[in-house]
């Protein structure tokens, strides 16, 4: 199996711990409950050392990019997240947590991101019949040659809520795409780093399978 597929392959039935980063802007309890539903132990944390040492880490997020990056800096979490990714240990970004990984966002001005994934975050520029934010269920597809997220079937539906989307400089980062007035990046994956624009914690069975995959659990709790 190639390195890019290592992150999201279910490997064992044992419970694994997930640290969920709390910087004051994520729907933390929803993410925590979804992870626990698939049999994972969780810890909500603001401790840089926990982020570095946890078996797996989730960077969630809801809200404005500039406020989020300011809070990550204020809490001294930027270096911990960068070092975590550089260490090659699993991290999953969700929604704003995906966007924060990029170099720059053009939401309400121009704001520097974590600089982990080369690329930018831009607002949807759509025909008038498309409403922004993009909100609701949408299908995802896998670009030719893309890997990562093996539990996600081509054409499966996930739940989206966003007005901005990521544009990686290198298309090989794109693991899943969706179409809303044009194709856009719905998820990225490379080695132990993965992130989704959609919300797996709100995506019912498809989201549960993705989170179970990330957590390394082989069952979904009922």
Residues acting as catalytic residues:
95, 199, 201
Angle at 164 between CA 160 and CA 169, to 5 degrees: 110
Pure H helices in the chain: 28-37, 48-53, 65-74, 78-86, 96-99, 204-215
Q: Of 121, 212, 210, 91, nearest to 158 (Cα)?
A: 210
Decide if 146 contacts 176 (C-beta within 8 A). yes
Question: What tokens were used for 167?
Answer: 């544009």
Question: What tokens were used for 195?
Answer: 């992130």
CA distances to 34, 104, 165, 186 from 143, rounded to whole Å, are 27, 24, 17, 11
Question: What tokens were used for 147?
Answer: 């890997």
């Amino acid at each position: 199996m190639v390195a890019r597929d290592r992150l999201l392959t279910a490997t064992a039935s044992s419970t694994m711990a997930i640290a969920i980063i709390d910087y004051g802007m994520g729907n933390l309890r929803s993410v925590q409950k979804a992870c626990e539903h698939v049999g994972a132990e969780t810890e909500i944390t603001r401790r840089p050392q926990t982020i570095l040492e946890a078996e797996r880490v989730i960077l969630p997020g809801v809200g404005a990019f500039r406020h989020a990056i300011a809070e990550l800096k204020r809490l001294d979490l930027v270096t911990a997240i960068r070092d975590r990714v550089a260490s090659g240990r699993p991290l999953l970004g969700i929604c704003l947590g995906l966007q924060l990984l990029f170099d720059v966002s053009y939401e309400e001005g121009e704001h520097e991101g974590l600089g982990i994934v080369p690329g930018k975050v831009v607002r949807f520029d759509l025909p008038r019949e498309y409403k922004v934010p993009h909100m609701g269920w949408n299908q995802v597809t896998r670009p030719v040659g893309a890997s990562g997220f093996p539990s996600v079937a081509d054409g499966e539906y996930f739940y989206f809520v966003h007005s901005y989307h990521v544009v990686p400089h290198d298309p090989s980062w794109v693991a899943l795409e969706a179409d809303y007035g044009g194709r856009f990046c719905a998820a990225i994956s490379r080695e132990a780093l993965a992130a989704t624009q959609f919300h797996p914690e709100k995506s019912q069975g498809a989201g549960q399978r993705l989170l179970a995959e990330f957590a390394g659990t082989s069952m979904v709790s009922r």
